[in-house]
Structure 1
Amino acid sequence: MSLEAPPTAGSASATDVVAELRRRGVADVDDSTTTRALYSTDASLYRVVPQVVVRPREVDEVLAVLDASRATGVPVTSRGAGTSIAGNAVGTGIVVDFAKHLNRVHEVDAERRVARVDPGVVHAALQKVAAPQGLRFGPDPSTHTRCTIGGMIGNNACGNRALGYGRSSDNVAALDLATGTGERLVVGRDVTATSPTLDRLRDVVATDLATVRTELGRFGRQVSGYSLEHLLPERGFDVASFMAGSEGTLGVLLGATVDLVATPRHVHLVVLGYGSMAEAGDDVPTMLPHGPIACEGLGARIIEVYRAAKGAAGVPEYPRGGGFLYVELAGDDPAELAAQADRVVADSGALAHRHVTSVAEQAAFWRIREEGAGLASRIWDRPALSGWEDAAVPPASVGAYLRDFDALLQQHDLHGEPYGHLGDGCVHVRIDFPISEPGGPAGYRAFIEDAARLTASHGGSFSGEHGDGRARSELLPLMYSAPALALFRGVKHVLDPDDLLNPGVLVDPDPVPSAAPHGRGVPAPLPGVRALDADLRAQGKGWAA
């Protein structure tokens, strides 16, 4: 078997690409078999072998990569930590790893409450720098110890406390980016940017304002597709917020200025127990008027798996129930928070509850919630995998959606334990897809098509924070009208007319895997890396060769 992934139509060989990159002064270029194998996966089900991996040290090298991409016709995929669940961070051409070198916090301005960072800064590293000034970056995914700010912006990541602090798109002050044509743009709240490209982008949206106003931005976790609502005239044509969630398909992020929020002085956690996760979902609309900064859902099975793995001493006391809500309140006065927490309990339909004010005990509860994805993978006889990972519905529909979703799992003879950001309507789940069994990939496709229809019937979004990637982009016609999809194609043509930025995602998508799970022009794993593939499959991260 050849060691090089088959080039896409009109593209150059890996040898030619490496030569073009080095001719332009890009130093850290790697086309070795081992490196290409390592970068062929992220945290999703997909394996896509790149031709070359580049780890730029300076912004000028990123621009040089884009120039080489245009010269060779080889596409570019931006990558942070590789925590993508939807296959957004793997590609057949040049994979650009921002985490290796472009990982600095350049400035924290406490007065303006902003930080200026490289795309590859790890979320936890930014928090560490901001914390001495009583500040933090608001969104906080469970992968905060490794996910990068650039990756968070690319997927419009949210996390547990987006309910209180907003999504990544709500916390972007300014972006420094390069389009697929190589044009460098700085866009943001306090930036006056003029460019023919931005004029064309404005014109595309102006062709069908009615579709944007009625189909986009209907609820907070509508992350699927492009967030065109930010480009509406009444929203101030906010290009920076619009770019959040575009999954590296419209531009390459060179730097970002992000908002910071004050770290709360006091936090009061209320843990509510219900008969089931669906009943917990029913109570979400009752919780939201109390202004929590988080309203998270967790099932009893995940807690029991944690107990079995870590021991009973590591599990705090939960109230009675089969499903739970974590309702977190924040403020300056502990007495006021306690009174607010009492009102939460009084208004809830919970079977039982606990007030948790100890910082150490709160951390123990959150540790179990943050490890939910890994724990949910080990509940069933077969390993549970990502694949239909983070659908979202309007919060008022969460309970009904959970019941219908459970019925759908039973219909397909599958199992999954939902958890996630129920206060935002975002439901995470790992499902025991029999991928390696005969008919497994086709069965996987049949399920996610039905799941997409179900989510759309509840007015929901196929992605609530992880992006559509290779997992869901082909399904977007089940959620959006033909005019909305035409708008997506229009903005893609303006910012990346040659389809060089993360092709196969969102616009002109690769097919969701069925009989041929390796995707567009992608070979089986490279020779010598089958042990790696076995390890990844054991973690639910790889396809069978």
Structure 2
Amino acid sequence: MARTEHLPTPVRRRDGRPYVRVRDLERDLRSRVDGEVRFDPGSRGAYSTDASNYRMVPLGVVVPRTVEAAAEAVAVCREHRAPITSRGGGTSLAGQACNVAVIIDWSKYCDRLVSVDEQAATCVVEPGIVLDELNRRLADTRLMFGPRPSTHSHCTIGGMIGNNSCGSTAQAYGKTSENVIRLEVLTYDGTRMWVGPTSEQEYARILAAGGRRADLYRRLREIAGAHAGEIVARFPDIPRRVSGYNLDQLLPGGPFDLARALVGSEGTLVTVLRAELKLVPVPGNETLVLLGYPDVVAAAEAVPRVADHHPLQLEGLDDKLISDERRRHMNAEALARLPEGGGWLMVSFAGRTRQEADRRAQALIDDLRCSPHQPHVSSFDDEEVEQQLWALREGGLGATARVPDMRVTWEGWEDSAVPPERLGDYLRDLRRLFAEFGYGDAALYGHFGQGCVHTRIPFDLVTADGVTAFHAFLRRAADLVVSYGGSLSGEHGDGQSKAELLPVMFGPDVMTAFGEVKALFDPENQMNPGKIVAPHGPPNAATDDLRLGSAWTPAEPAVEFGYPHDEGSFQWAVMRCVGVGQCRSHTGGVMCPSYRATGEEEHSTRGRARLLFEMLNGHADTPVAGGWRSDAVRDALDLCLACKGCKHDCPMNVDMATYKAEFLAHHYAHRLRPVAHYSMGWLPLWARLAAFAPGAVNALTHAPGLAGLVKRLGGIEPRRSLPTFARTRFSDAYRRRGPRGTGERGSVLLWPDTFTDNLAPRIAAAAVTVLEAAGYRVLIPPRTLCCGITWISTGQLGIAERMLRRTLRTLAPLLRQGIPVVGLEPSCTAVFRDDAPALLAHDRDAARLAEQTTTLAELLTRTDGWQPPAIDRDVLGQPHCHQHAVLGHQADQDLLARAGARLSTVGGCCGLAGDFGFTAGHMEVSLACAEHELLPAIRAAGADTVILADGFSCRTQINHTAPERRPLHLAELLAAHLRPGAGPAEDT
């Protein structure tokens, strides 16, 4: 146990918070803490908020490399009287993960699985480990940590302990507090100890040892004893009581379990260093039952009868959530599987065998046939289908936050909980309250089996009247839930949004007990101050420190892109990010490759969106100064690969690639740019010039010595090989050859993008072979044109717009005839489908181009009567990021399946991403992205497996990192399996 120091009382500011000499604090943290210490504007801006409505700019950020380093950081903060806030995934919805404090981010390094005891079914972990990653590491043991929030792909165990998280599986396994055995904790004064259930004999030994620990235990027992009657009376006996401190775990005659008492304290009492967790067996098989009811109230009224069958999960959805997902085109396949109804229950059963799970599901269905409101029923035992349906439920927050043609919704009354048997009546009254305040658009969904309700509400948080109404609603809603014997929070904690409401739920006596516990552990109020107890700005803490608020006055700058889905507003587009944090996941999809490579909040989609929000200067205390000229924003965007993965994978469809291009356009306006913007950003021009003497250019760019000089002058990574220009461009050869064939299926325009035309003409030739074999007459533009992708990605939007207008003028006659445009390079094809109509808003030809642009696979799959050649091969496919995000990859999968190919698809990003991987200084991140999924998959693939990659960047990265494998474009693969002599590949 650490020695407790006597420290002088700090000098305080007029607002009551301690005055901290920030420069001295930063200096000592840097000198003594093994970790990354960041007091720069970018880091402070990125950590200024979480997933809540609140914003508080931190003093600085510490990313410790070890638990011991984190303990040392606390010691340094103690010496400087600096407050601290622990942070995991940063997805808290009540404001508890942001503060004017030193933020300790555990998620990058302190993520170790320390030990596993399979026999006891326990493990010890560090707080930064992500839930899904923990369960992945436990996979061989067939054990897992039971509670599973919807943020399971990126929430940390430390964050779950801080908030007492639950999730859908808490129906079977309980809250986090019920799955924690022991905690290693550190108090602000330096006391370090393991805590857990304490027998009378152990309690006596602790008291006999004396010291700070003995004082803590003695006083805790005294506090709980003195307030026992009110604690018993005021703590609702429901499955989802998360609000307040868990003083019920310290009552006389009880277990005196200090670990469980500290779970849910949101870092306001102790810093958690390690945790010993209870594990449960992984369910062998699951069957999902969907129950459709007339409305959500009827569904809620059926919960007790369903719960009697002891399901693994019991979730509820209302018609508004389903309508929101349909409007946003989310989870279309899953939505089509819902049974008839206006409110639904999702019920899953686990079994050691498939038959056991099915039998339990059937028993429920049989029982409900006799119920007053017999539901419409669908059941599933296919794992892929079940995952699609759970994605429908887990996407609730994102689905309801920004719905087209509807008011924007916000958290604020996000997870109230009542006794499950009273849920139907509560929902009925809650909807009446919504209607009274004009919030009728709010959807209702959540963990109905435990009476916990999620909702996002269309609060007006930017006018004085709106904020007043928001506050009045919270007071009324608190009265309502308490009248039902419920809890203000059933999952996400109290933080700042519900702290001022706790007296309504607990009364003055229990609130006094909470204050005494806070003072016992943290007499200086330095542990995440202002959360749960003594909230900032009482009696209006819920409206203090709002991220928006009536004083919020952001800039609304003139912009280049049209932002058609955001009312033409860059500021509105940036605010798409609501902090869900899906960009911090390490598996699935593409988003966010730079976060996956670095583990940095600032290099996640969310972190960048936060900095852009700060850049717009809506608050006087923003750390991000300079507007468009901000170096902090530029540095954060530097590692953005512009992959557009976030446009698809983020539930809010944040499009950071577009925001980056917009920012760069303004940041470098009337200024010299990085030299790479001129070398690689102007690649179409250099390629056109190189076509006059490709041999000489190749000799210059590949000769020893000269190549290094060229790279240095061009700002290009010295370890990259420069691409080789073709001896003859595809377009030149094809114009000499001319179109052939009858074209019985009509004409198509094959787009000769810069990369294919100049660097890989064999791909375009192969595409001609395939298209003519399919009965199409192939046309190409009459002159060299460009989509502008390289200028867009480097933010040279004025030039990009001119290139696009020139292209549209040339293609207009064909576009107006409805001739399809076939793209081969995904990034260029995505420009036509996505960037061009955004840059050239209201241009009808740009809209035609977007509508008529198709991929090769899309065209061929809708060509009636055409059968692809037989491809009896194993194929490993690397979809280009823009395929994944904008174009879609389903047509490619369908086409290859029809051809008989055995396709395995690689997720993630190749890491090259146009100019990104070629730019000097990006090599390590580029290769780290490739090592995440692509390169391991290639190494594991058999020697005869075809590596399929349509993107020039993807093929280049593979050639650089796995030179023994030659990746092919889909056109090449199809052409190679056509009958000999079927096309003109040899002529071009």
Same fold (TM over 0.5): yes
Q: Aligned to 2:329, what secondary structure does the other structure show?
A: helix
More strand by share: 1
Q: Where does structure 2 lack aligned partners over 5 or more consecutive residues?
A: 1-12, 207-212, 558-568, 580-609, 620-988
C-alpha deviation, 1:340, in angstroms? 2.8
Q: Following the alignment from structure 2 to structure 1, what is the Cα–Cα distance between the partners of residues 527 and 133?
A: 28
> What's the counterpart of residue 821 of structure 2?
none
Q: How does 1:51-450 map to 2 (within 5 A)?
A: 51-189=59-197, 192=202, 194=206, 195-196=213-214, 197-216=216-235, 218-307=237-326, 308-310=328-330, 312-313=332-333, 315-345=335-365, 346-347=367-368, 348=371, 349-379=373-403, 381-414=406-439, 415-450=441-476
Which AA in structure 1 matches 2:87? R
> Which residue, 36, 54, 58 being the options, matches 1:50?
58
Alpha carbons 1:383, 1:540 under 8 Å: kept? no
Distance 1:190 1:198 in 2: 10
Greater shift in the superposed pair: 239-248 or 306-315: 306-315
CA distance in 1, matches of 2:143, 2:360: 24
TM-superposed deviation, 1:136: 1.1
8 A Cα contact 1:154 1:248, kept in partner: yes
Higher Cα radius of gyration: 2
Q: Which amino acid aligns with 2:309?
A: H
Residues 115 and 16 of structure 1, relative CA distance in 2, 3 Å threshold: same
Deviation at 1:9, TM superposition (A): 3.2
Provide closer, same or farther for how the CA distance between residues 171 and 449 of structure 1 changes in structure 2, counting only shifts above 3 A.
Answer: same
Q: Distance in 1 between matches of 2:462 and 2:16?
A: 27
Superposed CA offset, 1:114-172 (max 9, x none): 12111000011001011221111100000001100000010000001101011100000
Q: Map 1:520-531; keep pairs closer than 5 Å.
A: none
What is aligned with 2:819? Answer: none
Q: Is the 8 A contact 1:7 1:13 kept in 2?
A: no
Measure the CA separation in 1 of the matches of 2:269 and 2:288: 40
The amino acid across from 2:338 in the alignment is Y
Q: Deviations over 1:299-349 (max 9, x none)?
A: 233234334424734544111101100111112244443343233222353
Q: 1:335 to 1:398 in 2, by over 3 A?
A: same
Q: CA deviation at 1:528?
A: 13
The corresponding residue for 1:494 is: 520
Matching residue's letter, 1:464: G
Alignment-mate amino acid for residue 351 of structure 2: G
CA distance in 2, matches of 1:166, 1:426: 13
Residues 226, 246 of structure 1: 8 Å contact kept: yes
Q: CA deviation at 1:217?
A: 5.2
| Separation in 2, partners of 1:63, 1:339 | 51
Given the superposition, is the C-alpha separation of residues 25 and 133 from structure 1 closer, same or farther in structure 2, using an over 3 Å criterion? closer
Q: How far apart, in 2, do the equivalents of 1:103 and 1:156 lie? A: 19
CA contact (8 A) 1:180 1:499 kept: no
> RMSD in angstroms over aligned alpha carbons?
2.6
Q: Distance in 2 between matches of 1:309 and 1:218?
A: 40
1:170 partner amino acid: E
Higher RCO (C-alpha 8 Å, min separation 6): 1
Residue 575 of structure 2: which of 517, 530, 537 is its match?
Answer: 537
Q: Could you tell me how far 1:180 is from its partner in structure 2?
A: 2.4
> Quick one: which amino acid aligns to residue 332 of structure 2?
A
3-state DSSP of counterpart to 1:469: coil
Output one character per residue of 1:244-294: Cα deviation in whole Å (capped at 9) or x when no partner. Answer: 111111100101111110011121211100111111111111111111111
Displacement of 1:208 in angstroms is: 2.0
Contact 1:416/1:430, CA 8 A, preserved across alignment: yes
In 1, distance between residues paired with 2:33 and 2:186? 18
Amino acid at match of 2:25: V
- Worse overlay, 376-385 or 163-172: 376-385
The alpha-carbon deviation at position 355 of structure 1 amounts to 1.6
Q: Tell me how far 1:209 sits from its aligned partner.
A: 1.6
User: 1: CA distance between counterparts of 2:397 and 2:356?
Assistant: 34
Residues 438-465 of structure 1: CA deviation (Å, up to 9, x unaligned) = 5222221111111111111111111001
Q: What secondary structure does 2:575 align onto?
A: helix
Distance in structure 1 (CA, Å) of the matches to 2:384 and 2:63:
39
Q: CA deviation at 1:10?
A: 3.0
What secondary structure, in the 3-state scheme, does the structure 1 residue paired with 2:51 have?
A: coil
Query: Which residues of structure 1 form unaligned runs of 5+?
Result: none
**Which secondary structure does the structure 1 equivalent of 2:496 belong to?**
helix
Work out the number of aligned pairs and report it. 537
2:487·2:505 contact (CA, 8 Å) conserved in 1?
yes
| One-letter amino acid of the counterpart of residue 377, structure 1 | A
